Structure 1
Amino acid sequence: MPSHRANAHGTACEYHLAEKYNVRLVDEEGKRLDTSWYDGLKDGTPWEFKATARRHADGQPGNFKIYRKYHDRLQQQGGRYGFAVYRVRGRGTQILKTTTVRASKLPTVRWHGGGSHRGSQQAKIDINSALSLPR
């Protein structure tokens, strides 16, 4: 079962990635960019941020979940992923490692049913694979 704090950790990673890679999360009017398939823009290029815990509460290693319909669109638009691995530290989030990769450079993944809340197939990319991808 996912942590009820997982969203807070993901948000912390999103802000960290946006700052590190100089990605805008708001439009020209200061309003949050609100799309289903990307989190921010850098020089007109869409970026999607993904975060995972290094280890989940059950001891299993973390992985990044991507959704096919969003990935396909990100890839068609020449977009990028920003990946962050974190660990829970006290009540906060410690970001351990980040990387960025063009959506077109993701490895071939095995798509499977992703649940009805996203209406798309999903794939999981393990931490080591994501962190060793060509930029």
Structure 2
Amino acid sequence: MVNANRSQNAARYGALAEKVARERYGLEVDHSSWTDARDDEGRPWDVKACMMTRTAPRFRLWKEQHTRLVRASGGYVFVAYRPVGRGIRVLETRTVRASSLRLRFYGAGSHQKGEQVKVTPKRIFE
């Protein structure tokens, strides 16, 4: 069996976190270009997953997506997890309306998604 690379693992863990978020909060899949799910009222939600084994774990949010979520009265589902084998163990989850977050975005170098902000799990879960 070939070991998955870091990017493949991140994609798998992210998909598992999305599944947990949908089940826990009653969301439906909606993989448009800027969101992951919708609630029963049609509001968009983006799932942000963070691996808690890293030295400095962060959730990465993008300005353009955040602006769209605010305009659509949407929000984020934050999922903190640890990898376990090929799966994850969810440590914490929380929904947050995008409009309630006060963020200062900054340049992301040449990244195609534009300006970003990295948010610590402590800020989300405390």
Shift of 1:76: 0.9
Kindly provide the amino acid, as one letter, of the partner of residue 64 in structure 1: F
Q: Structure 1 length as normaliser, TM-score? A: 0.82
Aligned counterparts of 2:6 and 2:119: Cα–Cα separation in 1: 20
The residue aligned with 2:78 is 83
The correspondence of residues 21-60 of structure 1 with structure 2, limited to 5 A, is 21-25=25-29, 33-42=30-39, 43-56=41-54, 60=55
Identity %: 33
For the residues of structure 2 that align with 1:117 and 1:3, how far apart are their CA atoms? 19
Which runs of structure 1 show a deviation greater than 2 angstroms over 4 or more consecutive aligned residues? 114-119
Report the structure, 1 or 2, having the larger helix content. 2
RMSD: 1.6
SS at match of 1:44: coil
Partner of 1:72: 67
Residue equivalent to 2:24: 20
User: In the alignment, does 2:118 pair up with 1:121?
Assistant: no
Alpha-carbon distance in structure 2 between the residues aligned to 1:83 and 1:114:
21
Distance 1:112 1:8 in 2: 28
SS at match of 2:44: strand
Query: Counterparts of 2:109 and 2:26 in 1: how far apart (Å)?
Result: 32
Classify 1:111/1:117 alpha carbon distance in 2 versus 1 (closer, same or farther; 3 Å). same
Would you say how many aligned residue pairs link Structure 1 and Structure 2?
Answer: 120
- 1:22-49 CA deviation, whole Å, 9 max, x = no partner? 0000xxxxxxx33122111112111111
Task: Return the letter of the residue paired with 1:67.
Answer: W
**Which runs of 5 or more structure 1 residues have no equivalent in the other structure?**
26-32
Q: One-letter code of the match for 1:36? A: S
For residues 45 and 120 of structure 2, what CA distance do their matches in structure 1 show? 20
Q: How far apart in 1 are the matches of 2:81 and 2:112?
A: 24
Checking the alignment, whether the CA contact within 8 Å between 1:36 and 1:70 is kept in structure 2 is no
**SS of match in other structure, 1:128:** helix
Name the SS of the counterpart of 1:52 in structure 2.
strand
Q: Structure 1, residues 65-116: CA drift from partner, whole Å, max 9, x if none? A: 000000001001100110000001122211111000110111x323122244
Structure 2 unpaired stretches of 5+: none
